[in-house]
Structures are given as structure tokens and as C-alpha cells.
């Protein structure tokens, strides 16, 4: 799953049908012609800043992966198919996996594709990625998934999940490999949420410990798990030198992570010249401007028709809209506050198409913050806080009406989609209700001071008390960091701040920072009860979460204890149990039942603050551009399919 940043308001939950064909204007039917340059607007204050396809939570975003790294280093299995949230065999580097041994053994056969330097993409490139992943997520690599890990970590890491649920993996031929799993899993879930994470990396070019060192087989050193005897549980990966990483897979991972963080060398570093995707990067500026050209050796079915694809940075959505009005962008977005000018754009050569994605919108609490955390752990407080979030108001006043209510961890848009339970599909679970919020606080030991600051007057854990860890006189006063650059987000945050204070005496101190800084602050350190993080109370990166590269909407990456993308360290035994059930039942009926139980529980438990969900962006694109619509529901983009009408 990937973090994503609003380009108009908030990232949306998948419009499965609407995204497939809801263009509000009809593009030209003239024949396509080759060549030309497509300019694509990046999100405000959200330039790509990480290229390695093995990213920690600090870089695990649409900006760094879907809009950037994935164009050069696509996944082994591709998902997103003609605007639908499903497996795409044509764009996958491997054929569909086969299963045996009661769904505990999975065999993969790769297609005979090549890297841009002409070298075949083989099973060795998969075990290379697996070795580095195993090293970066092992007990030896403390703080996995964070910026403080000795290796890059992995933003999709979940304790006991991938790769720890793989007992062994082995290349059985040049283009074939086999994984032995520690249990029987639902094949659909394992393909959509585990195998989907694999990204072949060029072992023949990247398996090195320094920029000047020779390429070797370092990733297979230090007990790499590429060929081992299957066991009941996955063995721990133990690098020879976990502290400095001077040998073995962890050392390679550390080197590549360091190179990936040096954006100033992106244009010249030979590592990034060997790609497998449809595009290769030829220019990168530290401002975030990126220039791609076609990879003429790309083995996939869609050879690029355009000559140049450029990603253009902007410091605000206002700056982006000014460029759009001037006609400087091929693909841009209209901020919600500027929707009144949509007709101007459509009369000046642009078409309009809302970009709906398969995801949810929320922002997290920091449950490990020493002062705020004990308050956040109280369900009654989360119920009260959510009851003061006026989603209908935000939708109408700030988001142009392009939003759906978010009730829980599974998309509520489009209405009545197959994954929704009745609880989430029939109105808000916690609708805007100031009276209920005040009553909840009064009933649990708080002196509510509307317009002031509410305080705890009954500390303790008995019925009617404030709760464990909350001292007498504790105040409902919190810090909320949010991403700068989007007017609609500022409007939402200021409205929420006002309502929480005026109705229930919950004071929120707002501060802003660029998108990248917000997610690095939020996800950049592993917060645990033993080592709590005190740098933030709540954080809103301005968007939400698209279900990629875990494509089935289960919650292991978001809400399972210890998951890399669970920055506030939400920790609930029952939630963990229900999440586990969503991926271990090998029957369709069992899978649906488990998913229903999980989403109903999380909708009521409020592990995060649910916010209204709107399209990833309200796309405006040149009317002579072909191949854009339908837009990818996993926020993926397909520049190689773009062309201009003749």
C-alpha cells in the first residue's frame, strides 16, 4: 500500500466503474501520431526523491514509486488493468504462478524479457531482490521500514508477513523459481498482497558494496536464504556484519539505499541506467523535475509512442493551476477551489477526468507519544474526536462535492461495491454529532470547556474515569502536522481545529511542512512502547492510502501491530486476529467472511481519523492526448500508452 498526496483534495477510494470510463468530455477520435513531449504535473511540494525499488516507509509513496520508480523498475506481477483493480498478466514480467502442496508451494516462471543493456531478466534478479529484502527486514536490521534502519527497510513490511512467511526461495532454472511457505494461504491473497511486492533488480549491475567496487555475489553471502531446507518457521537472517554492512546482502542494501538518497547524481549514476520498464530517466533536477525517454529495449507489449515524458514540480496547487491555465501542461489537475474555471479550461483545449483510486483517506494518531498517546488509546476519545469531523461539510465547502464519506478501512466509493459490509455502506458509523462528543467526554471524567481547553478531573481506570495513564489536569491539547501546498487541505484542517475547540474544548496546534517532510517525520522512526516517539501527535500528509503494492483491501500493512506503515503503532489484539484471518482462509467464502469481520471491527474502533475521500486528482489533460483514460485505479500511470492525435 502506498501513501499518496492530494493534488486536489484527498486521495480517493476506488471508483471501480467510474474510473474505468467517466470522462466528462470526449477526447478526439483522430488517428494517433508518434513523437511529442508529454508534461505531467507533480503534486504540490511532492517531488520524487527515492529511486530504489526497495523503499522504507519514509519514501513509500505514490510520488516515489507509482509516478517514478515503477516506470523504470516495474513489479514482477503488474496490477491495474484498463482502469480496473485487477491483475494484469500482459504487463507482468512473470507468468501467473502455480500452486501445489496444499497451497504451501508456489512456482513462478518468468517471461524472457531483457534489461535495457540487453541482459536477460532472470530468476537470479528475483532472488537478488529477495535477499536484500530479507536482510533489510531481519532482526539484525533494527527499525525495519524506517529511515533509521541500517538498510533501506521496506514500507510494506509486516511482522510475520512477506518475506518472513516464505520459508525458503530458490531459483530452479534461469527463468523459474519456487517459494516454500510456512502455511497454506489463499492463492488470490498471496498473489495480490505478497508476490505483488516483488521487483526484479539487475543483479549483474547492482550487486556491489561500493560505487567503485566490482559486481559480485555479495547478496548470497552471510546465510542468504535463497537455497535452504524448508522448516516449520522462517529462519532469521543473520548477516556477518550487521553493524557496518561491509559484507553480504545487508551491505549491498545499504550501498544502494545510500545511492538512492543522493538525488544529485540521479542523472549520471550508472546504476539507474539499467532499467526494465518502458521508460528510462535522462535528466533529474533537485527541484524534482524529471525527464524520461523511451527504453528502446523494453520487452513489454506497449512500446512508447511519445518521445519525451516530463514530470514538472510545483510548490503549490496555485502555481500548478497557473501553469495549466497558460497551457504549459499536457496532464495537470484542477484544485477544488478553482473548479469554477473548469469551463475556461475545457474551452481552451483541455478535457476533464476525475482520477479515482482504490484506497482510503485518513490520518493517524501517535499512540506511543508519552503525553497524547494514553488519551488516544481511549476508544471514547477517538469516538468523540471523530464525531467532530464534519465530513459532509468538508465535501461540500472545500472539495467541490467530489467526495465520499470514509467510514472504515474498505472503500465506500463507489456505493455498494462488493467489498463493503452493510455497516460501512449505509451511512456514517460516526456521523458529525457535537452533542455526542461532549457527552462522551463528560461521561469519562473530563471537564469540557467549549471554546477553552478541556481537562481531566477524574483520573483512573474505573468506569467514568479518564483512563489509564491520564493524570489529573491533563489537557485535550494536541499538535497536528499537515502537508503544505493544497488550499483544500488547509481549509479542512482549519475547520476541524475550530470545531474541535469551539464544541468540545479540544485544542489543536496546527503546523505545516512539505509532503516529504511530513511522511519522513511520521514514518521515519519506528515507534514502539519501549521507545516511544514524541515528535508528533497527529499527522496528515494530505491524502491517504492506495492499495498498492498490496492490492487486496486487507489491513496487515496499515493496522497490524509492528507494520512499517502503522506509524502511530496502533496495537490491538483482536484487530491482529481478524487481519490474520483475512489472508489465511483459502476459500472464497471464508475470505469474504473474514474481510467483513475485519472491516466492521476497524470501522468501530477508529484506529485513525477517517477523512472524506475524493479523487486522487481532478485531471485536466490536453484534448489531443490519447491513451490517458481510463486512469489507473492504483494511481499508476502509463506514459508508454500516450500519443497525440494527428
Chain segment 569-583, per-residue pLDDT in tens: 999 999 999 998 887
Distance CA 279, CA 79 (A): 18
Residue 478 Cα distances to 375, 471, 608, angstroms: 10, 16, 15
CA distance 334 to 332: 7
Torsion of CA 139, 143, 145, 147, to 10 degrees: -140
Q: For residue 366, say if its preceding peptide bond is cis, omega within 30 degrees of 0.
A: no
Q: End-to-end alpha-carbon separation of the chain, Å? A: 38
10-residue mean pLDDT profile of the chain (646 residues): values are 46 27 34 82 93 90 93 97 91 98 96 98 96 80 46 82 91 95 90 96 96 91 39 36 54 92 96 98 96 97 93 95 97 93 97 89 95 97 98 92 87 63 74 97 98 98 98 98 91 98 98 89 73 87 84 87 88 94 72 87 96 89 97 94 92
3-state secondary structure 88-115: EHHHCCECCCEEECCCCEEEEEECCCEC
Neighbouring-strand partners of residue 108? 177
- Domains of the chain, with CATH numbers? 94-273 (3.90.76.10), 359-610 (3.10.105.10)
- For the chain, the residue count is 646
CA 180, 81, 597, 392 torsion-angle sign = positive
3-state SS assignment for residue 345: helix
Q: Which sign, positive or negative, has the C-alpha torsion 544, 547, 549, 554?
A: positive
Is the four-CA dihedral 338, 340, 342, 347 of positive or negative sign?
negative
Please say whether the beta carbons of 582 and 555 come within 8 A: yes
Alpha-carbon radius of gyration of the chain: 24
Helix (H, G, I), strand (E, B) or coil at 78: strand
Q: Is 13 in contact with 360 (CB distance < 8 Å)? A: yes
* Strand locations in 573-616 (E): 608-610
Nearest to 540 by CA among 488, 597, 592: 488
| pLDDT computed for residue 30 by the predictor | 47
Alpha carbon distances (Å) from 179 to 75, 135, 540: 17, 17, 38
pLDDT, residue 145, reads 42
**What cell does 222 get?**
552471510
The count of other CB atoms within 10 Å of the CB of residue 18 is: 17
Distance (Å) of CA 348 to CA 270, 281, 326, 372, 628: 42, 31, 10, 51, 19
CB 131 within 8 A of CB 230: no
Place of cell 537472517: 237
Q: Where are any strands of DSSP class E within 84-206?
A: 84-88, 98-100, 105-109, 166-173, 176-181
Half-sphere CA count of 134, side-chain side, radius 13 A: 30
Please state the pTM of the whole predicted model.
Answer: 0.82
In whole angstroms, what is the distance from residue 596 CA to residue 387 CA?
Answer: 23
Task: State residue 523's pLDDT score.
Answer: 82
Q: Hunting for cell 484471518 — which residue is that?
A: 581
Contact 385, 608 (CB under 8 A): no
Per-residue cell: 306 = 511519445
Helix, strand, coil distribution of the chain in percent, nearest 5: 30, 20, 50
Q: Which of 155, 160, 130 is nearest to 253 (CA)?
A: 130
Helix (H, G, I), strand (E, B) or coil at 397: helix
Q: Of 57, 14, 83, 78, which is closest to residue 410 (Cα–Cα)?
A: 14
d(CA 128, CA 201): 7
Residue 584: which H helix or E strand, with range? helix 573-584
Vertex 308: Cα angle to 306 and 314 (nearest 5): 125
Q: What is the edge-to-edge ordering of all strands in the sheet holding 105-109?
A: 98-100, 105-109, 176-181, 166-173
Tally Cβ neighbours within 10 Å of residue 232: 7
Copy the grid coordinates of residue 586. 483459502
CA-CA-CA-CA dihedral for 204, 190, 17, 639, to nearest 10: 0
Angstrom distance (rounded) from CA 477 to CA 475: 5
Joined together, the cell numbers standing for residue 141 give 536490521
- pLDDT for the residue numbered 531: 75
Q: What does the alpha-carbon distance between residue 279 and residue 281 come to, in Å, rounded to a whole number?
A: 7
The candidate with the shortest Cα–Cα distance to 77, out of 111, 112, 27, 33, is 111
DSSP string, 289-327: -EEEEE-TT--SS----SSEEEEEEESSHHHHHHHHHTT
Amino acid at each position: 500500500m502506498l501513501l499518496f498526496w492530494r493534488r486536489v483534495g484527498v486521495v480517493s477510494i476506488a471508483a471501480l466503474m467510474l474510473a474505468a470510463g467517466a470522462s466528462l468530455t470526449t477526447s478526439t477520435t483522430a488517428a494517433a501520431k508518434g513523437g511529442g513531449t508529454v508534461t505531467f504535473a507533480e503534486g504540490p511540494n511532492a517531488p520524487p526523491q527515492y529511486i530504489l525499488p526497495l523503499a522504507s516507509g519514509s519514501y513509500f509513496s505514490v510520488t516515489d514509486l507509482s509516478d517514478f520508480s515503477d516506470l523504470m523498475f516495474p513489479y514482477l506481477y503488474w496490477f491495474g488493468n484498463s482502469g480496473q483493480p485487477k491483475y494484469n498478466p500482459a504487463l507482468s514480467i512473470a507468468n501467473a504462478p502455480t500452486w501445489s502442496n496444499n497451497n504451501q508451494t508456489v512456482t513462478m516462471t518468468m517471461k524472457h524479457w531483457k534489461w535495457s543493456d540487453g541482459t536477460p531478466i532472470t530468476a537470479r534478479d528475483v532472488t537478488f531482490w529477495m535477499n536484500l529484502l530479507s536482510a533489510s527486514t531481519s532482526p539484525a536490521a533494527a527499525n525495519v521500514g524506517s529511515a533509521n534502519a541500517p538498510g533501506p527497510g521496506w514500507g510494506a513490511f509486516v511482522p510475520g508477513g512477506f518475506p518472513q512467511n516464505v520459508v525458503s526461495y530458490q531459483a530452479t532454472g534461469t527463468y523459474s523459481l519456487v517459494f516454500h511457505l510456512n502455511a497454506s494461504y489463499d492463492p488470490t491473497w498471496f498473489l495480490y498482497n505478497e508476490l505483488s511486492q516483488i521487483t526484479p533488480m539487475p543483479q549483474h549491475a547492482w550487486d556491489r558494496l561500493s560505487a567503485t567496487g566490482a559486481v559480485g555475489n555479495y547478496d548470497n553471502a552471510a546465510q542468504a536464504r535463497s537455497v535452504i531446507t524448508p522448516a516449520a518457521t522462517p529462519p532469521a537472517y543473520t548477516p556477518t556484519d550487521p553493524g557496518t554492512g561491509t559484507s553480504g546482502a545487508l551491505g549491498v542494501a545499504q550501498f544502494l539505499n545510500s545511492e538512492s538518497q543522493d538525488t544529485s547524481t540521479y542523472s549520471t549514476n550508472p546504476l539507474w541506467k539499467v532499467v526494465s520498464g518502458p521508460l528510462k530517466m535522462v535528466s533529474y533536477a533537485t527541484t524534482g523535475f524529471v525527464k524520461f525517454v523511451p527504453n528502446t529495449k523494453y520487452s513489454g507489449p506497449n512500446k512508447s509512442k511519445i518521445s519525451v515524458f516530463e514530470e514538472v514540480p510545483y510548490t503549490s496547487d496555485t502555481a500548478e493551476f497557473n501553469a495549466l491555465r497558460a497551457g504549459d501542461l499536457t496532464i495537470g489537475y484542477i484544485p477544488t477551489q478553482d473548479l469554477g474555471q473548469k469551463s475556461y479550461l475545457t474551452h481552451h483545449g483541455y478535457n476533464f477526468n476525475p482520477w479515482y483510486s482504490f484506497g482510503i483517506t485518513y490520518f493517524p494518531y501517535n499512540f506511543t507519544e508519552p503525553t497524547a498517546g494514553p488519551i488516544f488509546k481511549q476508544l471514547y476519545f477517538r469516538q468523540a474526536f471523530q464525531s467532530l469531523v464534519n465530513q459532509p461539510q468538508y465535501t461540500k465547502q472545500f472539495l467541490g462535492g467530489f467526495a465520499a464519506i470514509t467510514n472504515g478501512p474498505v472503500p465506500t466509493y463507489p456505493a455498494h461495491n462488493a467489498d463493503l459490509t452493510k455497516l460501512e455502506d449505509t451511512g456514517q458509523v460516526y456521523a458529525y454529532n457535537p452533542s455526542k462528543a461532549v457527552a462522551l467526554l463528560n461521561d469519562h471524567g473530563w471537564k469540557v470547556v467549549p471554546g477553552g481547553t478541556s481537562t481531566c478531573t477524574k483520573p483512573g481506570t474505573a468506569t467514568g474515569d479518564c483512563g489509564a495513564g491520564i493524570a489529573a489536569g491533563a489537557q485535550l491539547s494536541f499538535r497536528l502536522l499537515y502537508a503544505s501546498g493544497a488550499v483544500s487541505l488547509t481549509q479542512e484542517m482549519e475547520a476541524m481545529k475550530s470545531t474541535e475547540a469551539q464544541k468540545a474544548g479540544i485544542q489543536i496546534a496546527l503546523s505545516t511542512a512539505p509532503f516529504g517532510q511530513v511522511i519522513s517525520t511520521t514514518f521515519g522512526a519506528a515507534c514502539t512502547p519501549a521507545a516511544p516517539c514524541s515528535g508528533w501527535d497527529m499527522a496528515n500528509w494530505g491524502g491517504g492510502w492506495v492499495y498498492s503494492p498490496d492490492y487486496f483491501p486487507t489491513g496487515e500493512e496499515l493496522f497490524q501491530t509492528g507494520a512499517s506503515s502503522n506509524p502511530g503503532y496502533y496495537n490491538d489484539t483482536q484487530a491482529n486476529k481478524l487481519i490474520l484471518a483475512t489472508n489465511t482462509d483459502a476459500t472464497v467464502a471464508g475470505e469474504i467472511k473474514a474481510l467483513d469481520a475485519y472491516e466492521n471491527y476497524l470501522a468501530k474502533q477508529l484506529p485513525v481519523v477517517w477523512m472524506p475521500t475524493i479523487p486522487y486528482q481532478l485531471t485536466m489533460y490536453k484534448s489531443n492526448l490519447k491513451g490517458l483514460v481510463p486512469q489507473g485505479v492504483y494511481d499508476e500511470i502509463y506514459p508508454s500508452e500516450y500519443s497525440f492525435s494527428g
